[in-house]
Amino acid sequence: MEKYIPQEIEKKWQEIWRQEHRDGCKNEDARPPYYVLEMFPYPSGNLHMGHVRNYTIGDVMARYRRMKGFNVLHPMGYDAFGMPAENAAIKHNIPPAEWTYKNIENMTRQQRELGLSYDWDREVATCHKEYYKWTQWIFELFYKRGLAYRKEAKVNWCEHCNTVLANEQVIDGTCWRCDQPVVKKDLKQWFFKITDYADRLLDDLKLLPGWPERVKT
């Protein structure tokens, strides 16, 4: 009986797809465009089965549309900034950049092995200078227009870890990492003035036909 050995057969075809740029997407193309975008994962180290499920569904859509004659843009990237990187760096005692890039490399390898049909030429990571210069650019616009401001506000704080904790990281009043009690601390923080747009947001809900009522609520 012939055996299916994924490490052999899949590797072979993935290499051929890569050489032929099967998953690439050109900006100029006569075919109708179609955009498939899944959530960019946080590079925590390894893909878990939740990732595999989510990305398989997106990949099925992308492949289906390609076969139906669409020019499919199916990119991938990494949501690589934030508190998890800070916490992991403290935990493993290594610089956050080192930890983050190592994880991106490993997760990219796993995604390639799964054969997910991404246009890897368009890969982004929010920790790349080429990416976050745009975050800084838009933040500056907000700031100059009075829509970003600083003020004191209470945060969850762990004295032992010396970090802020998200609400989900406080378990029964203690820190999820070290089990020490969490305190409320006044810290100067940045805020976006979203309330300026609250009425407009509410008014414009009527411009969204077909949205489920529970989502609008």
Residues that bind Zn ion (CB under 5 A): 158, 160-161, 175, 177-178
Rounded least distance, CB 46 to Zn ion, Å: 24
Q: Which is nearer to Zn ion, 11 or 160 (CB)?
A: 160
Q: Which is nearer to Zn ion, 112 or 177 (CB)?
A: 177
CB 14 within 8 A of CB 112: yes
Q: Between 159 and 186, name the residue whose CB sits nearer to Zn ion.
A: 159
Distance of CA 111 to the CA centre of its chain: 14
- To Zn ion, the closest distance from the beta carbon of 182 in angstroms equals 8
Rounded to the nearest whole angstrom, what is the least distance from the CB of residue 175 to Zn ion in the complex? 3
CB of 159 to Zn ion, least distance (A): 8
62-70 contact pairs (CB < 8 A, 24+): 62/36, 62/117, 63/117, 65/34, 65/36, 66/117, 69/31, 69/32, 70/31, 70/32, 70/33, 70/34
The two beta strands, 148-158 and 182-192, are antiparallel
Q: How many CB atoms lie within 10 A of CB 99?
A: 19
Tell me how many helices (H) and strands (E) the chain has: 7, 9
- List of residues 6+ apart from 158 with CB closer than 8 A: 165, 175, 177, 178, 180, 182, 183
Distances (CA, A) of 192 to 82, 140, 149, 200: 17, 12, 7, 16
